[in-house]
Amino acid sequence: MNKYKILIAGGDMRQIYCAERLSKEFEIRIIGFDRESIPDSIKLSFANISSTKKYDCIVLPVSPIDDNGNIYTPCSSENLHPKVLQGLLTEKPFIFTGQASEKLKVAFQNAKFRDYLQSEELNIKNAIPTAEGAIQLALEELPVTLNGLKVLVVGMGRIGSVLVKILQGFGADISTAIHSPRGSAKARLFGVKTVSTKHLGTNYDLVFNTVPKLIFDRNILERFNKHTLFIDLASKPGGIDFEAAHDFGLKIIWALSHPGKTAPVTSGEIIAETISSMLEERNDDIE
């Protein structure tokens, strides 16, 4: 089998680090970046639009198309239209992206789309930079140490588990709020106190929410101390009534997009590893 030729098209610095990691295994070209936006230590080649070389795969950013119908290229001063990419592809290419819109499917009719955000591998691995970014926020915002702090972690899924593990290293006083026998069993494993999401106490200094369900409604928020810091890591619409929180003067940070910003290298490498696993599984599909 031939080595894949892969084109990394647009996106932020994560895609650059993704490209660098993939270049250890595959033939990689990039497009949609200004040369100055790339650190000197990174050696990557730009795609030559006028060449006849064809690519087997394109890697697009999570949200690939901007409002004007161009590829999302925050690291480039020029626009990149999907049409430019069409001429660079083999007949049945793979397109890796976060979510393939109808527009995108029309633009690349022969392509097979792969959503790397759906990969379990990526989601487990991404829990780590997400949790670390949240811990960084807490350290920056709070005038006290995490050691000894009364912390509530809502949800014992991937992100919740990583948070608990990190907080135990700090020696925080951790409680977890769980809503299933499964979550309860996982909390038991970590040796932390559990409360039911239905009977939450309010005596915490710091709350991490990871559950995308309205748990912190006006009634509950009203009873919290004003010094409590809330960090919401749940996907939209999050788990906290922001308006009510605002009314009570509570501080809330919605931080799900944080990981890409605080650890772009790791985030980019995780995307690369996921794409690499996906291509490996699919070796049979391509002749």
Q: Which stretch binds a copy of itself (CB under 8 A): 43-51, 180-188, 215-223, 247-255?
A: 180-188
- Please state, in angstroms and rounded to a whole number, the distance separating the CA atoms of residues 39 and 16: 9
Quick check: 55 and 7 in contact, CB under 8 A?
A: yes
Six-digit token string for 207: 């709350």
Quick check: 172 and 147 in contact, CB under 8 A?
A: yes
Based on the shown chain and the rule CB under 8 A, indicate whether residue 203 belongs to the binding site for a copy of itself.
Answer: no
Count of residues in contact with a copy of itself, rule CB under 8 A: 50
CA 205 to chain centre: 26
Residue 27-66 contact track with a copy of itself, rule CB under 8 A, x = bound: --------------x-------------------------
Based on the shown chain and the rule CB under 8 A, indicate whether residue 191 belongs to the binding site for a copy of itself.
Answer: yes
In the bound state with a copy of itself, the residue whose beta carbon lies nearer, of 5 and 114, is 114
Cα distances from 213 to residues 38, 86, 129, 210, 235, in angstroms, run: 39, 41, 22, 9, 9
Three-state secondary structure along 103-167?
HHHHHCCCCEEEEHHHCHHHHHHHHHHHHHHHHHHHHHHCCCCCCCCEEEEECCCHHHHHHHHHH
**Residue list 131-160, contact with a copy of itself (CB under 8 A):** 132, 135-136, 139-140, 142-148
Based on the shown chain and the rule CB under 8 A, indicate whether residue 166 belongs to the binding site for a copy of itself.
Answer: yes
Q: Which of 61, 264, 272, 275 binds a copy of itself (CB under 8 A)?
A: 264
Based on the shown chain and the rule CB under 8 A, indicate whether residue 283 belongs to the binding site for a copy of itself.
Answer: no
Q: Which of 22, 65, 88, 127 binds a copy of itself (CB under 8 A)?
A: 127
Q: Which of 54, 92, 188, 246 binds a copy of itself (CB under 8 A)?
A: 188
Task: Give first-to-last CA distance, the chain, whole Å.
Answer: 8
Residues in touch with a copy of itself (CB under 8 A) = 41, 120-121, 124-125, 127-129, 132, 135-136, 139-140, 142-148, 161-162, 165-173, 181-182, 184-186, 188-192, 227, 262-266, 273-274, 277
